[in-house]
Structure 1
Amino acid sequence: MDNLPLLRRGVDVFFAIAFAAFTVTSLISDLLPTVGVDFSHPSSNFFVNSNYWYAHDTDPLFMDPPTWMRIVTGLSAFGYMPFYVVFVYALITGRNWIQLPAVIYATMIVTLTGIVVFGVEFFGEPQWRTPNPAKFLAFNSPYVLVPLVLLVRMRKPAPFTRRF
């Protein structure tokens, strides 16, 4: 069975746009804490200041990350980000081989972000609890919800041969 063209797979257009955006946010947000850039105060650097703005008002865990959190952001910056590029390519060109890597990715992201990071932000040590849960969820829920929907999308063999 031939794959449907991208424009007949509307949910895949959404995924291509979302994961292209995840590529950029992974580069900007996750790379900085991983390599130890200090954004605990405002800066003239746009990327550092963007992270300061987010972390100061929303995510104290992100502002002063413990070692385990730097490992999580490093996985995003150096593992997930290359996957995003490959995934967007596979979506656009309708490559069914991306199904298993997509399921592995989505499972990892839901586990690390959805359970571990959200758990610490809401129930962990007081210094890391988010001061603004609604804002935290508004910023971070897409990084868990989109992979959950992706798991549903990739549930059948040859996912690009039929509509979602």
Structure 2
Amino acid sequence: MTAEPGPVPNLPLRERPFDWFFIVVFSLFTITSLISDMLPTLGVDISSPSSNFFVNSNYWYASDTDPLFMEPPVWMRIVTGLSAFVYMPFYIVLVLSLIRGWNWIQLPSVIYATMISTITGIIVFGVEFFGEPEWQTTNPVKFLAFNLPYVLIPIVLLVRMRKPSPFTRRF
């Protein structure tokens, strides 16, 4: 009679070099959720220049790239609210999970990647490119440069988390 093999141990972070990419990117996503998504969610006016660095940064981005972000309708404030109050805490937990190799983060990662690709990838991009004329982006190249990583990187994370016990193997 042969013994059942035990669970495969997780690889240490030094043997998962691609996870460093996710650690850096999702740490940056934490900061951008705090800086850019919190303001429209809380109703801070970013439709004109300001002496406040964060408001002025958002004004600079919105005035030249994203009119929908400048004066967001209620549904857009819900989208930014998800980023500020749901995704941002998830990013912190994800970064810790990547560092520590917590396999349980797999299902939340799949849920997150599905939500972000649906909400941002379909709804927001759809309005920006095909919606009401007053909300369509004035600079599509700049809009995509700023926003496409927020959709593509979660999809890459989804690929990374596709198998059970994702930290037992390299990407």
Q: TM-score per shorter chain, which class?
A: over 0.9
**Which of 122, 143, 150 is the equivalent residue of 2:129?**
122
Cα distance in structure 1, aligned partners of 2:49 and 2:14: 43
1:101 aligns to what? 108
Matched, 1:40 2:42: no
Cα distance in structure 2, aligned partners of 1:32 and 1:129: 21
2:4 aligns to what? none
Q: Determine which structure has more spread, i.e. the larger CA radius of gyration.
A: 2
Matched, 1:84 2:91: yes
Cα distance in structure 2, aligned partners of 1:71 and 1:39: 17
**Which of 144, 154, 157 is the equivalent residue of 2:161?**
154
2:3 aligns to what? none
**1:8: how far off?**
1.3
Q: How many residues matched?
A: 164
Q: Which aligned segments of 4 or more residues in structure 1 are displaced greater than 4 angstroms?
A: none
Cα distance in structure 2, aligned partners of 1:6 and 1:138: 30
Matched, 1:110 2:111: no
**1:131: how far off?**
0.3
**1:7: how far off?**
1.8
Cα distance in structure 1, aligned partners of 2:14 and 2:68: 40
- The one-letter amino acid of 1:39's match is I
Gaps of 5+ in 1: none
**1:11: how far off?**
1.6
Q: Deviations over 1:21-48 (max 9, x none)?
A: 0000000000000000001111110000
**1:82: how far off?**
0.4
**1:100: how far off?**
0.2
Cα distance in structure 1, aligned partners of 2:122 and 2:18: 26
Cα distance in structure 2, aligned partners of 1:120 and 1:10: 37
Matched, 1:58 2:47: no
Identity between Structure 1 and Structure 2 (%): 76
Q: Indicate the RMSD between aligned Cα atoms, in angstroms.
A: 0.5
Q: Deviations over 1:121-152 (max 9, x none)?
A: 00000000000000000000110000010111
